[in-house]
A = this chain, B = another copy of it.
Amino acid sequence: MTGAGTNHSLSPLTGGPKIILVEPQMGENIGMAARAMANFGLSGMRIVNPRDGWPNERAVVTAANAAHVLEKAEVFPDLLSAVADLNAVYATTARERGQMKRVLDADEAVTQVVSRMHGGEEVGILFGRERTGLDNDEVALADAIITFPVDPANASLNLAQAVLLVGYEWFKKAHGQLPFNLEERSPPAKREAIVSFFGWLETELDACGFFPAPEKKPAMIRNLRDILLRLSMTEQDVKTLRGAAGALRRGPIPPAKRDEPLTDGE
């Protein structure tokens, strides 16, 4: 789905909680995390003591269209300075810690984040090193733990995937709208048009010997109507179906006549 659907004339969304990468190792992962943030309208990246220094060429290449996130990333020498100005901090972790902290799923956590930010608080979410995650002292700095509902037999998510899931929940709650919505549909058909279509169809079917015996006709008609009503037809749907049924009713047209306008046969 790469690139598909992106509208390059729009400015990216900004805001959201700070996404704090603690001692990330691979530039590619920083770049993928930036992309995940950009997908979901998060613009505040903080990086604590990145292993390979900063700026990081691999991160820029990987980030592609999310370069704006990296350009504004703030780099800190240690975690304490990266969270100093924040009011609330959450730590993502894949495994249990011996700490008396609330454990939230991303859904609950982001609901809290949205509400805190509404109240004017600045919030940060910590993501640990690729191989070893956050250490216990780092987790201890957080107000609560975020973990993800996963199959315990396959619990490992990479850094960018964890950022992606938090971003996804953030966007759902903070912005909500899908990039496009219900397809352009013609207006829903009025009941009158539907009943008229049914009447025409049933008359034609009767003429064609569809109903094997008069006493079976009412139940067969009800059944047919039930099926068609499940379509929640638009005006256009009714026209399309009536046209198709009319064409079947007329049967094959000899090749010579194909240029003549079709009439409904009524």
Residues in chain A within 8 A of chain B (CB atoms): 1-8, 10-13, 35-36, 38-41, 65-66, 92-103, 105, 107, 127-128, 130-133, 145, 147-159, 161-162, 164-165, 168, 171-172, 175-185, 234, 236-237
Residue from B1, B7, B133, B237 in contact with A133 in the complex, judged by beta carbons closer than 8 Å: B1
Residue from B39, B66, B149, B154 in contact with A65 in the complex, judged by beta carbons closer than 8 Å: B154
Residue from B94, B107, B168 in contact with A5 in the complex, judged by beta carbons closer than 8 Å: B94
Contact A183 B97 (CB under 8 A): yes
Beyond A165-B164, A168-B165, whether A156 also contacts B40 by CB under 8 A is no
Bound CA–CA A102/B148 (angstroms): 29
Contact A156 B107 (CB under 8 A): no
Chain B residues whose CB sits within 8 angstroms of the CB of A92 once the complex forms: 1
Chain B residues whose CB sits within 8 angstroms of the CB of A101 once the complex forms: 183
Contact B180 A10 (CB under 8 A): no
Residue of B nearest to A160 (CB): B161
Residue from B5, B100, B150 in contact with A40 in the complex, judged by beta carbons closer than 8 Å: B150
Give 25 CB contacts A-B under 8 Å: A1-B128, A2-B156, A2-B158, A3-B131, A4-B93, A4-B155, A5-B155, A6-B152, A6-B153, A12-B151, A38-B153, A38-B154, A39-B156, A94-B179, A95-B180, A96-B180, A97-B183, A103-B181, A103-B183, A147-B178, A148-B168, A149-B168, A155-B179, A161-B164, A165-B165
Contact A154 B66 (CB under 8 A): yes
Contact B150 A171 (CB under 8 A): yes
Chain B residues whose CB sits within 8 angstroms of the CB of A98 once the complex forms: 183-184
Chain B residues whose CB sits within 8 angstroms of the CB of A171 once the complex forms: 149-151
Beyond A1-B128, A1-B158, whether A152 also contacts B133 by CB under 8 A is no
Residue of B nearest to A10 (CB): B153
Contact A96 B38 (CB under 8 A): no
Bound CA–CA A178/B108 (angstroms): 12
* A136 nearest CB across to chain B (Å): 12
Bound CA–CA A237/B128 (angstroms): 28
Contact B164 A179 (CB under 8 A): no
Contact B128 A6 (CB under 8 A): no
Contact B153 A13 (CB under 8 A): yes
Contact A1 B156 (CB under 8 A): yes
Beyond A149-B171, A161-B164, whether A156 also contacts B11 by CB under 8 A is no
Bound CA–CA A101/B1 (angstroms): 19
